Chain A
Amino acid sequence: MADFINNIFGIGDSWVGYLIAALIAAVLILHVVAVGALLFIWMERKISGRIQDRLGPTRVGGKYGWLQTLADGIKLIAKEDITPDLADRFLFKIAPYVGLAASYAAFIALPFADGVVAQHVNTAVFFVLAVLGLEVFSVILAGYASGSKWSLFGAMREAAQVVSYEVPLGMCVVVPVMICGTMNLTTIGNMQAGLFTNWLVFNDPFTFLTAIIYFTCATAGVNRAPFDLAEAESELVAGFHTEYSGLRWSLFFMAEYSSMFVVSALASILFFGGSHGPIPVGQWIGETIGGTWGLNISRIIGVGNLLLKGLIGVTVMMWIRWTFPRLRIDQVMTMCLKYCVPLAALGFIGATTWQYLDLPTANSLVGNPRYEKHEMWTEGVEVTPAADASPASGIPDPEPHQEDKTANADSVTVKTLPVSVVKGGER
């Protein structure tokens, strides 16, 4: 995009283009975070209402109360920002921003569709996980700085829980990385293009298991019920955000909901086909129309797909929250160490063995070749024959990056076509 902007202004390879591109991306992601949080909180209210046999918000903003969250947001902004006397003022004040920044930063490497990503990161999986893990700092800071024992309890619980759940979470994420042979989320997503049998979750029984474990651990990792011990209201009053009020308190909420979306979106990219629908309609439309327009239309459909999948993931998390009681801290740790870690390890070993022994996968069973165009629309890469056949479908010509391009292309060619991939495609 930077090049595109620079081309418009005709200023060659200038930093201005990069700055503007970054700003545009930042603002767009901010909207995903903020509007997403508004939507999710409204959804949570409506869904919990329906689950509990009541209506939920019905007044503000018309029949469905869809402006309720906005009204609450205005109320929260207008509320007094209280800092307790015992609090460590500086840490207390920055804690919510740290949390929001962490879950916000995770969006940077999250591809909403092929090529629709703020910044291409070759190790996007690693980046997203690492940055999401930073969120725990905000909770620890908040709990420690509040000067309240209940907050401290919440923080300690959160630290113990999130840190331990990162182990099985990481092991689950390794499985798609291993199958696809890349840590680039765009590539992983693209490798699942085509019919839904291409989705990694249906690759073999072990990936299916891994997907379930991933979702469980992700729920625990973002502190959603039944793992919401850090804010268990029946035990710890409100946990780490007991002493917060007004806007700072709502920032915690925004962080929570956006990281919920991030892990759901990550789940859909890693296991559920990413921006590709169950039936490759978007791809088909894109190819039929062809050219830049076709590409863009299929991208828009892809973004829709990913958002929809993320929403489904978030909805499932809400459904779980409003159905189950909360686990106890030792049970949470037991579940992680005694069940999730071994099962994740089993999934990893099983999936590896499956690949190694070249056992049939879902897509091979239905005779649907996989990965045929997996690099088609990746920016700066023109590797596959399909991309060669329709050069117009590439990104606006990235002339200034001649050297990078070749380097990239080489590396990608080597990296993304491991043995298993080729075999999968041939079968």
Chain B
Amino acid sequence: MATSKIDDPRVIEFDVRTDEMLINMGPQHPSTHGVLRLVLRTDGEVVSDVEPHLGYLHRCAEKIGENLTARQWIPYTDRMDYLAAMNMNLGWSLVIEKLLEYDLPERGRHLRVIISEMGRIASHLVAMGTYGLDLGSFTPFLYGFREREKILNLFEEACGARLTYSYLTPGGATADLPVGWTDKCRQFLNQFKEVIPELHTLLTTNSIFVSRTAGIGVMSAKMAVDYGCTGPVLRGSGVYHDLRFHGEERYTEMYEGYVFDVICADPETGKYPESNYEFHGDSLDYPEIPRQAILGDCWHRFYVRMLEVVQSVRLIEQAIEKYEATSGDWGTPIKLVQKLPAKEAYMETEAPRGQMGFYVVGNGDSIPWRVRARSSSFCNLSVTAPLCQGILLADIPAIVGSLDVVMGEIDR
């Protein structure tokens, strides 16, 4: 590795003491979620220092965005967080709508809620599964993917793609939901609700899982905010902040009239909101918080994701009803070559991994002057180095996995 032009006092020295070892974890490593590279300085099993190296998946998305029209860039947003591409589409669509000051018809709003919450479930299922995988449990991964496949089938029916959808566009969506889709979606939700306790049994309450995650990688609320952590990582530290509640009006109005909880422990009592959601006449109880768990540790981050899935189910059920009750237009996608005003707009949405922000600067042309994606995983990952000091080697997958990063989004 060549030296950088700027003198770096923290450049890792290669003449380490004899009892320390410098290990390269990644970019080809099973548990670094893609192509993250961590340079570890270890003393036996104890890791004293971690230095993340990024950029192995850098595809110059922002530079490409300066050469394409707003709608042409949609597929590039798909490839950022490829596990929740629908939510990426939504973020970009909203910021362009904000720039164009375009208001979506009501039916389109409900459609977006259904789709983006489905995307959230699909993404959290992968997060759950891969976290199990990080901790050496293979089975939950396949259970998660089994359910995810069903969501992907529904997405495929709606837009024809299973991974990179390009479905939600500025101005609405490329098409309305097909006839009968909502019934299939309901069917899926009904059987999915029965699976959730199964997933809890496999991981959340499993005692080995608890001993591997509880009390590991504890991040205080102050630290989480300071490092710009968002989404489940922030809420896992007990910070009550969810853009679906507290975001910009343009985004929160999408969720107007919906009833759901922000999954976040009260920092004082350490209690999560009561599960007041019912199915089959029974309350869908949340599992107990284990004794060893400390607010802000890996277990809480995982738990927040698992509970958010329930809230998403709740949202989708409401959204389907509202969607079916409204008729009319679901929105008109903007023209492929749409002139953008010489203004700038920034907007963040609550993507599954945190707050995904897009910044667009127009110059009167159809091609934006500058495009910027504020990646949630990027900020969430920046907390790795301070979190991973003086821990055991086996805790690194546990911590990085609990941050649930997607390298496509980090490197863009």
Contact = CB atoms under 8 A, between A and B. Distances in A.
Direct contact of A and B (CB under 8 A): yes
Interface of A: 48, 51-54, 149-150, 153, 156-157, 225-226, 228-229, 232-237, 322-331
A54 to B, nearest CB: 7
B17 to A, nearest CB: 15
Interface in B107-152: 132-139, 142-143, 146
Interface stretch (B233-241, B364-372, B393-401): B393-401
Contact of B31 (A225, A226, A235): A235
Interface stretch (B59-67, B161-169, B208-216, B316-324): B208-216
Given A153-B393, A327-B212, A234 B133 contact: yes
A195 to B, nearest CB: 36
- Ranked nearest first, the 4 interchain pairs of A and B with the lowest CB-CB distance are A326-B136, A325-B137, A234-B31, A325-B135
Contact of B208 (A157, A232, A327): A327
B143 A53 contact: yes
A324 B31 contact: no
Contacts of A53: 142-143, 146
Contact of A228 (B23, B134, B136, B395): B136
Interface string B372-412: 00000000000000000000111111000000000000000
Interface in B179-233: 202-203, 206, 208-209, 211-212
Nearest to A149: B23
Contacts of A236: 393
Given A52-B142, A325-B206, A328-B392, A234 B135 contact: yes
Contacts, number: 83
14 contacts: A48-B138, A51-B139, A53-B142, A232-B136, A233-B30, A234-B31, A235-B394, A235-B396, A235-B397, A237-B30, A323-B139, A325-B212, A328-B392, A329-B393
Q: Which of B31, B135, B203, B211 has the most CB of A within 10 A?
A: B135
A327 B139 contact: no
Contacts of A232: 136, 394
Given A324-B206, A325-B203, A226 B136 contact: yes
A368 B142 CA distance: 49
Contacts of B58: none
Contacts of B203: 325
Interface of B: 21, 23, 29-31, 44-45, 132-139, 142-143, 146, 202-203, 206, 208-209, 211-212, 392-397
Contact of A328 (B21, B30, B31, B212): B212
Given A156-B44, A234-B30, 6 more contacts: A53-B142, A153-B393, A234-B136, A324-B208, A326-B394, A331-B211
A322 B139 contact: yes
B299 to A, nearest CB: 12
B134 A234 contact: yes
A329 B45 contact: yes
Given A237-B30, A325-B132, A330 B392 contact: yes
Contact of B397 (A157, A234, A327, A330): A234
